Amino acid sequence: MIQRVLGGRYELEEKIGSGGMAEVYKAHDRLLARPVAIKILHAEYRSDVEFIERFHREAKSAARLSHPNIVSIYDVGVAGDDHFIVMEYVQSSTLKKKIQDEGPLDLLTATQIAKDIASGLTHAHANNIVHCDIKPHNILMTEDNHAKITDFGIARAVTESTLTYGGNVIGSVHYFSPEQARGGAITPKSDVYSLGIVLYEMLTNKLPFTGDNPVAIAMKHIEEEPISPSRYRPQIPPMLEAIVCRAMSKSPEIRPSSFELVQELSNVEAALSVNHKSDPDATKILERTGIPPRRVVRQGLGGQSGNPEDNKPKVPAVESKPFYKSKIFMAMMFFVLVIGFGVGIFAAFGKVWNSETVVSVPDVKGKQLALARQILEDGHLRVNVAETYDANVPAGQVVSQDPDVGKTVKSDRLVTIYVSKGGEAIDMPDLAGLAKSAAIERLQKLGLNLGSVYEKDSSSEPGTVLSHDPTTGTKITRGQTIDLIVSRGEPERKVEEVKRTTKQTVRVPNVENASLAVAEDGIASRGLYVGSVTTQESSQAEGTVITQYPAPDAEVETGSTVDLVISRRPEPEPEPIREPEHESTSETESRQSETFPDIPVQNDDAPSREDDQSKGR
């Protein structure tokens, strides 16, 4: 590949790096006579048409970015089967190598580097470009110790296509955001999470999450909270630790934007600059040493001193004890020790005697762990952190505290805060058949909360769990609320016994226009019986109640009966018999008798009519 010219313009000189997706070469731009860096994709991505299209589109979009903390992209092209990106050449090492060589970075240096990265991300996010693979390996350090983000375009193209190719995870799982590990939507807040991990690593020289395989590490991003950076390095100021913890929040809504991160890091940078160590080469006033001043001896002729006193015969002096070995000094030291011991006792137990050392426990519920710790410590309280599952509270936020809000306690009191681990997806276990107490105990062990408990008549032992909501096998999360339905035991005593002993009264239900089956259930639910049931022809649907006795809402004693009248279809009427159209003989005779009462009726015509009829037949 060396000494090859891409596009008739870029002459490859040497290979300077290699990654999971591409190889990087230093090249010479013949047209503009300048050094450039060229990234050429590996051969296995040449056949993925969708990836190649997204790669070119996103690389061209990233080429619009122009910021001092972003490695500029000059060109994107194809030479034969090779797809490449031409970038600014930065002659330096990566941030990863700087961390490995120097260990935990100086607090001010780490803050300045994180600020540079956040500034570059702010410019990218303003142009709708999300990096998706922020890690120390993709941060180049210039000679003047400034950071430049590289690898824009590639990470975005991969994550928009898919997170895996051939079963291998693309990217760096140690720096994944929870939504990336979960395969969810990628937003600018995903870059902020990755930057939080980079800052964590710069401050501690440790990664917050490690594991035996990428899947285990990805699950830790989703479920676990990292160890506080101050545990590894107590010198980290609370303000800086709060920024790290907020940036690494599981919930994107809690994380600051990259612009807000720049402002917060600027405040920390200003504070650290004031407290930074002074110049070690500055002029200093040295204290006197214990070496006595050198004595100048003048000697005369014959080896005698010029001072007459020195020429006198010397009498051996009596050796005196040093003052620090004298009895007076020892007595003074004893007195000082006694006074110091008394002051120490007073300082240790003075708070017990002083009534002004009581404080009110502040409210930290719903706040992030780092902020809650800072609030309590500022209130002269000690903090103990415990974790709990709660699907209703975002991971990393305080669910509850002990002592509770507003309690008056003495300063330095230990306050336990319970921090949410979010909801862990599990299968709802089968609790049916367990005693109520055993079911509640099992829910607590699984990190589930007890909701409402309903009772139901059953032949099972009282207190036995009959069913629950959600049902067995349903996907739930730790911290979710579970409702139980437990047995109340055998049904209540028979209605006759209740009537005989308590004489209670009930209202008769209104069952008119209901079917007979529904009416019977409604009457029985009030502790009443169905009495006589009669039918009556009606235009209503067959089998529905027409009337009832006693009437609806009448008050009767339990155990009373209710008579019902239900509808039945009317019987079909018989078809009428049609008679001859001519009048009968009797009717004719009666009319004739009425008209002519004095004239007798002659019956001799009858045979003649019969004869006529026979003739007609």
Which residues lie below 8 Å from residue 190, measured CB to CB, with a gap of 6+? 130, 132, 177, 179, 180, 252
Which residues lie below 8 Å from residue 422, measured CB to CB, with a gap of 6+? 223, 250, 389, 390, 391, 393, 394, 395, 477, 479
CA–CA separation, 339 vs 434, rounded Å? 68
Give the closest residue to 117 by CA, choosing from 73, 143, 152. Answer: 152
Token readout for 130 is: 């999300």
Give the closest residue to 225 by CA, choosing from 253, 244, 203. Answer: 244
CA–CA separation, 369 vs 254, rounded Å? 12
Q: How many CB atoms lie within 10 A of CB 495?
A: 18
158 within 8 A of 180, measured Cβ to Cβ:
no
Q: Which residues of 339-371 are buried (b: 16+ CB within 10 A; e: fewer)?
A: eeeeeeeeeeeeeeeeeeeebebbebeebbbbb
Among the listed residues 48, 75, 82, 133, the single catalytic one is 133
Q: DSSP readout, 422-441?
A: ---EEEPP--TTSBHHHHHH
**Side-chain-side CA neighbours of residue 398 (13 Å):** 26
Known active-site residue 521: no
Give the closest residue to 481 by CA, choosing from 443, 455, 445, 454. Answer: 443
Which residues lie below 8 Å from residue 175, measured CB to CB, with a gap of 6+? 133, 134, 135, 194, 197, 198
CA–CA separation, 467 vs 485, rounded Å? 5
Q: How many CB atoms lie within 10 A of CB 58?
A: 22
CA–CA separation, 399 vs 396, rounded Å? 9
Residues tagged active-site: 133
